[in-house]
Amino acid sequence: MNEDARYISIAGVEDGWKVISKMQVRGAPAIAIVGCLSLAVEIYNETFITKQMFKQEIEGKLNYLVSARPTAVNMKLAADDLIGMVNDWVEKSVISVTEIKERFIHEIEAMLEKDISNNMAIGTFGAERILKDVPSGSSLQLLTHCNTGSLATAGYGTALGVIRKIFDQNRLEHVFCTETRPYNQGARLTAYEFVHDKIPATLVLDSMVASLFKSRKIAAVVVGADRVASNGDTANKIGTYQIAVVAKHHAVPFYVAAPSTSIDFEISEGDRIEIEQRPDREMTHIGEHRIAAPGIRCWNPAFDVTPANLITGIITEKGVFAPNDIRKLLELQ
């Protein structure tokens, strides 16, 4: 659990793929950043004789990194963007292979700074929208699911960035975070961030959300996203969909906070999003201890898809959009 904090060294692409696949790195923005940085580390001291050799290695290794967690779209979009840049540079005869490599590494390093600035903007836009529905000067209570903070991004966080911004404005009375079974990201990571930052928070089980809405005045739910379809349907950590359903019943606004890089405009609806299936052991064991009857079958999808009609708004670094309006982001890019 969180008895100690350890850093894991990543020496190259194989290490990057493993930490992503094993969920030692998780959160769509962090997956993209760690995946791309693992490639930058690997090629840093490599010498490439031809541009074509560089291009082939980059394409193969980026596509390999995408396969580690296919539902999270940020890695795929980052890979496509970087491959496109390399193809453009290769076609320009005046640019040497050494310069192409330097440009490539610089673009990856820039991803870190851009992710943090995007998260700060998401926090500002999200806090502004949520506080608009609350009496001036009063504080509020929020619910979040899974982990969307500094441990899931380059820093600050998406949904947790919104919560941090409200807290910084002295408007947060309390935040509730779900345990997030079976991998317990809420208990292990989100609770850790809240305690570390001295944000007033309470941990609840996933099965307690309906009772929480009934017994506490929750102003809004704020969650992250691993992939948003072009119609606003949102794939996020398993359990998000049921929270959205319960929030709708209790008339609690339900917000998704995600950078525009998490929106996949090539996917028309949520049913077309590939849902990763995780190992049975994540359900049947806690650490080395079995908690389920031997021989029982398990169904362990890592994500579910929340339909757009259950989502109040999608908070991005460019503003807050109704789910059916997110295509407007294409005009802003």
Specify whether the CB–CB gap between 200 and 173 falls below 8 A.
Answer: yes
Angle at 297 between CA 292 and CA 301, to 5 degrees: 95
Token readout for 174 is 């309390």
> Strand pairing of 285-286 and 289-290?
antiparallel
Return the axis-axis angle of helices 51-66 and 73-91, rounded to nearest 10°. 170
Catalytically annotated residue among 4, 88, 168, 226: 226
How many C-alpha atoms does 20 have within 13 Å on its Cβ side?
30
**DSSP 3-state percent helix, strand, coil across the chain (nearest 5):** 50, 15, 35
Active-site annotation holds for 226: yes
> Is the CB of residue 159 less than 8 Å from the CB of residue 257?
yes
The two structure tokens encoding residue 39: 């490639």
List helix spans (H) across the chain: 13-21, 28-43, 51-66, 73-91, 97-131, 159-168, 185, 191-197, 209-215, 240-249, 281-284, 328-332
Catalytic site residues? 226
